[in-house]
Amino acid sequence: MHEWITDCGLTPHVVVDATRPGVVVPERFVEDGRIVLNISQGATAGLVIGNEMLAFEGRFGGVSCAVQVPVAAVMAIYARENRQGMVFGEAGYGDQPEGDPGSGSPEPPDGEGPPTGRPKLKLVR
């Protein structure tokens, strides 16, 4: 997905669940347990996207910072310019209720924590 967004001349961003184990991001930029990261080649140094981990050096508020994100903590990837991409989540977590288009945010229902288990791919239109 990252390669496709980049090949289209767009800027890839990921939404990360910063509460998951193994996530290393600058805490002061985390909002509501999430952080949005620009993972374009111009915004990162040493970007590595593997099957288990996403890692790079980035600048946050002018300060260089090492970032490590387990792939299981990635909630979504999208192009900044058109907001098209994919949302990853569990059944019942971010799914759109029938008859309620556009409500498929990665917000868990009240009282539920972040999803666990294997991610499910979902096309965002």
Q: What is the CATH number of the domain that holds 61?
A: 2.30.30.220
Report yes or no: 118 and 74 within 8 Å, Cβ to Cβ: no
Q: Is the pTM of this model over 0.85?
A: no
Residues 63-117: tens digit of each pLDDT: 999 999 999 999 999 999 999 999 987 533 343 333 333 333 344 434 444 445 5
Q: Which pLDDT belongs to residue 55? A: 97
With cut-offs at 50, 70 and 90, classify the pLDDT of residue 124: low
Q: What residues make up the domain containing 94?
A: 2-110+118-124
Higher pLDDT, 7 or 123: 7
Higher pLDDT, 118 or 12: 12
Domain count, the chain: 1
Give the residue from 89, 106, 123 showing the smallest Cα distance to 34. 106
The dihedral through the CA atoms of 94, 19, 33, 44 has a sign that is: negative
